[in-house]
Amino acid sequence: MIKKYFDLKKTNLDDYNLYLFYGNNDGLQNEVINDNFTNNFKGSVNKYDENEFINNYEVMSSELLTSSLFEKEKIIIISRTSDKLLKLVEEILDKGIKDIKIILKSSVLEKRSKIRNFFEKRKDLIIVPFYEDNLNSLSTIVIKFLNQNNINMSRESINLLVNRANGSRKILKIELDKILNYSFTKKKIDLSIIKKLTNLNENYGVNELADNYLERNKKNIDKILNENNYSDEDCILILRTVLSKSKRLISIIEKYNETRNIDDAISNTKPPIFWKDKESIKKQANSWKINDLKEKIYQINEVETLVKNNSKNSLNLISDFIVNI
């Protein structure tokens, strides 16, 4: 059964014990899990990766199905789910296990995915898609946060904060927590404070890499890759940053194709583009055709899947993708 994430609040979750959450918005997935399942939960929460189950399937599934390892009042969360876990889901249903909740998390699940189709067709299972945040939805989060906490911040500061979150709700929430702590002594927060409080300078290398990638500036790309000591954890951030900026660039190019005025196309982008980024955006718009960008977005999703499945080789995968524009 397909449900929207906000409908879970209106659903009697006691009637269901198997859930599949998929999509590239991991931050929102975690929020929904916390709000609807783990917050105020008195039992234990066990988190696993799919590979842990696959590599020890007979042992793990046997323990689960006999409830000797997973007792009552437990929530099981399994990340990076793929079709490989469909067998486990079928076995749980066959055994009629009702006393534990199992939440399967995944990023991209194509329409042809067997486990996705299985969940969509069954009325006793719940599947929820989590679509990526855009700049508008992230701006809404910031504005709601500011209103709830009586914090005064300029539109320019909001735009900067949202742009530097690189399309990640998770990163944005971390930065908002820092702002909340600061606001206990000062309710008006200007742009200079935002720059000091947040990790904008630390993330700039990622933004700079993404911008030069979209400018097709191979010389600068090589320089940035050589000068920045990126970690494995940075790889997903790099991909998400390029993805977010690529989607924004498609929108700008579409507006430019209609008006034939690049300045108007950039000025009418919402949320507004930071003034110092405008020249870079112009170079990017002149470097791509829309169909080529759409193909890159498809490639980014493929590379992200490879990175998640080959974490030890993630830096090489990212470098190969970035260098081969």
Which whole number is the average pLDDT over 148-168?
86
Pairing of strands 126-129, 152-153: unpaired
**Bond from prior residue into 271 cis (ω within 30 degrees of 0):** yes
- Predicted TM-score (pTM) of this structure: 0.58
Apex 81 CA angle, 79 and 84, nearest 5: 140
Distance CA 165, CA 213 (A): 18
Q: Does the pLDDT of residue 61 top 50, yes or no? A: yes
Which whole number is the average pLDDT over 245-273?
89
Report residue 261's pLDDT band, with 50, 70 and 90 as the boundaries.
Answer: very high
Report residue 159's pLDDT band, with 50, 70 and 90 as the boundaries.
Answer: confident
Which whole number is the average pLDDT over 24-34?
89
The pLDDT assigned to 72 comes to 58
Q: Between the ranges 97-101, 108-112, 171-175, 181-185, where is the mean pLDDT highest?
A: 108-112
Report residue 65's pLDDT band, with 50, 70 and 90 as the boundaries.
Answer: low
Report residue 199's pLDDT band, with 50, 70 and 90 as the boundaries.
Answer: low
Report residue 68's pLDDT band, with 50, 70 and 90 as the boundaries.
Answer: very low
The pLDDT assigned to 203 comes to 52
Q: Does the pLDDT of residue 188 top 80, yes or no? A: yes
Bridge-partner residues for 47, per DSSP?
A: 77
Q: What are phi and psi of 154, to 5 degrees?
A: -70, 160
| Better-scored residue on pLDDT, 66 or 93 | 93
Q: Does the pLDDT of residue 272 top 80, yes or no? A: no
**pLDDT-wise least confident of 32-41, 53-62, 109-118:** 53-62
Q: Does the pLDDT of residue 114 top 80, yes or no? A: yes
What secondary structure letter does DSSP report for 97?
-
The pLDDT assigned to 284 comes to 96
Which whole number is the average pLDDT over 250-273?
88
Which whole number is the average pLDDT over 210-230?
87
| Better-scored residue on pLDDT, 76 or 40 | 76
HSE toward the beta carbon, residue 173, CA cutoff 13 A: 10
User: Which residues fall within 8 angstroms of residue 139, CB to CB, at 6 or more apart?
Assistant: 158, 159, 162, 271
Report residue 66's pLDDT band, with 50, 70 and 90 as the boundaries.
Answer: low
Count CB atoms within 10 A of the CB of residue 321: 22
Measured N-to-C along each axis, helices 234-259 and 200-214 cross at an angle, to the nearest 10 degrees, of 50
Domains of the chain in start order, with CATH, are: 5-129 (3.40.50.300), 135-198 (1.10.8), 202-323 (1.20.272.10)
> In the numeric block, which tokens belong to residue 154?
């300029």
